[in-house]
Amino acid sequence: MLTDQIYHDVLDGWMAVYRDGYLADKVLQRLLKDYPRTARMAREIVAQSVYGILRHQRLLLAATGLEGEIPDADDQDILLQAYFKWYGDYDQRYHWRKRPDWKTLEEQKQMLLQHRAYRYSIPDWVDAYGYREWGDAWESILASLQQAPHQVLRVNTLTTTREELFQQLKKLEIPAHRDAQVESALHVRQWTPLWDLPAFKQGNFEVQDAGSQQVGAFCGVEPGMRVIDACAGSGGKTLQLAVAMKNKGKILALDTDAAKLDALSKRARRAGIHNIETRVIDSTKVIKKLRDWADIVLVDAPCSGSGVWRRNPDAKYRIEEEDLEQLEQTQRELLVSYQRMVKPGGVLVYATCSIFPAENEEQMNWFEKQPVKLHRLGQQFVSPAAGDRDGFFMVKWEKEG
């Protein structure tokens, strides 16, 4: 049942992203703090509705005649009704501001659905670019990216086991299932404010997609190694590597953003991890000092993020075509620069959360034509169309010597 608070929070949340440019996950964390923990259904409706509107945003705006505009209160009301009618649970009894002409809206929707860019609510240039990259397979990839994802947990095996965490969730009546491929992954089938759970505060798990966890496993780290996570960000994969190393050895987490590294350090303390050192890349000297230092270097490169659009649907509206060109150049620069930190006999891993070959296989092929002494050990593409995980690419090389 729709309440006034849910109504206003859904619209406020969507407008904070659409109009004001805030990130959806941050907006929802702020909004949902006002709900008591017992209001699980209300919190789920707000979260799923904000993400749902973003997922279908372009089609909803165009069908209601609002594409390219900032809707006023009446228009927001009609757009929300259209969302609930087509993709959610429409409440006829709610005191809507204004009832739309459903016949006209439905006709407009059906006309728009004939066009792939509207069908999957993506910019025209993304549709054209993706089709050039993937051909007829583009449709199935887009369809998978429109599906609402599970929340996925990575079990911190330093503090618990997957079975123990599964049983904890079961006692809280949170439905979950074990991932068949990734031993550390649990899928939560019902949206849950995971940051409120005692197990999260105790460091027993992190939220990390199963595809992302496959990247960490692909690196092949072992206890006692010297490892560099060269684009660590706030540290999802860094923490996974530390757990795989059983807190033994050393991980250097590098990034240009000091705030993200601070967040990583806090997450590491919560998880009981103490073999991570963070360093801000504020000059080329940081990289030069680490020449031939690491057994394994992970370059989880900045990319389009297209593989995680189902999880971050607002991101597909933020990227511009010229951004891709800059990202591809940055990826090449990072590969050439950061491979120098790998010691002879060590391993370089390149990974993206992109579905576009230009950021993946084409970068791999380009890099192998450069004057670098590495040979490829393997590669893997995790397609979002293949199952319940985001899209990732990974490749690794061994350094000769």
What is the number of other CB atoms lying within 10 angstroms of the CB of residue 20? Answer: 8
Output the tens digit of pLDDT for each of the chain's 401 residues: 799 999 999 999 999 999 999 999 999 989 998 888 778 889 999 999 999 999 999 999 999 999 999 999 999 999 999 999 999 888 888 999 989 999 999 999 999 999 999 999 999 999 999 999 999 999 999 999 999 999 999 999 999 999 999 999 999 999 999 999 999 999 998 888 898 899 999 999 999 999 999 999 999 999 999 999 999 999 999 999 999 999 999 999 999 999 999 999 999 999 999 999 999 999 999 999 999 999 999 999 999 999 999 999 999 999 999 999 999 999 999 999 999 999 999 999 999 999 999 999 999 999 999 999 999 999 999 999 988 899 999 999 999 97
**Residues 306, 390 contacting (CB under 8 angstroms):** no
SS3 378: strand
What φ, ψ does residue 129 adopt, rounded to 5°? -65, -45
**Residues 385, 143 contacting (CB under 8 angstroms):** yes
What is the number of other CB atoms lying within 10 angstroms of the CB of residue 137? Answer: 13
Pseudo-torsion of CA 254, 259, 264, 265, nearest 10°?
100
**Residues 121, 143 contacting (CB under 8 angstroms):** no
pLDDT at position 243: 98
d(CA 311, CA 326): 24
**Which one is the CATH code of 211-399: 3.30.300.30, 3.40.50.150, 3.40.50.1370, 3.40.50.2300?**
3.40.50.150
Q: Let me know the angle formed at the C-alpha of 261 by 256 and 267, rounded to the nearest 5 degrees.
A: 160
pLDDT at position 155: 98
pLDDT at position 173: 92
Q: Whats the size of the chain, residue-wise? A: 401
d(CA 167, CA 189): 15
Q: Is 353 a catalytic residue?
A: yes
Architecture of domain 151-207: 2-Layer Sandwich (3.30)
What's the whole-model pTM score?
0.94
d(CA 142, CA 130): 9
d(CA 71, CA 78): 10
Which is nearest to 27 in space by CA: 47, 3, 6, 4? 47
Instruction: Using the Cα atoms of residue 38, residue 24, residue 117 and residue 327 in order, give the sign of their dihedral.
Output: negative
Select which of 219, 231, 303, 353 is catalytic. Answer: 353
Sequence ranges of the domains in the chain: 4-121, 151-207, 211-399
**Residues 386, 372 contacting (CB under 8 angstroms):** no
Give the 3-state secondary structure percentages of the chain, helix then strand then coil, rounded to 5.
50, 15, 35
SS3 319: coil
